[in-house]
Structure 1
């Protein structure tokens, strides 16, 4: 398990934890008067998508209309893929080839 995301609100953190598949753990830490909730889980593209992270929903929409891409779509796809390549390195996971 790895740290997937942090939250300032307990309810939001618990809601996010419910969306994950596989092992998961929610841990809180206090810094002065602020409580932060750390969500740990299995780093997978499915879990990231369920959490609404890394523009994966937008990527899905782009890929569904790939045949009709304009230059703006190509640029946005390149931006999202650049981010996902960084995420892939950080979590030692590979982006699916059909996303590229």
Structure 2
């Protein structure tokens, strides 16, 4: 889904992987938190100048997503408008 929208994205590290990466460079985490960021689908898709065909495919993927994906992204529908949530993390390490 995300890689189709932005081919430069490869994989999202888990919080555990981020913690290990910080520790591996001698910068253990002092604080971490997550937050839900609301996204408007059309704006999100257009940020990467997706083609109309890609936007249509992304929309279909979101609408037809399996239950675990729907539970994670929590899409909401209002007519043709779709919003969903992405999880973002804030990590603070100290050397």
- Mark yes or no: TM-score above 0.5: no
- Bigger relative contact order, structure 1 or 2, given CA contacts below 8 A and separation 6+? 2
**More strand per residue:** 2
Q: TM-score, normalised by structure 1?
A: 0.31
**More helix per residue:** 1
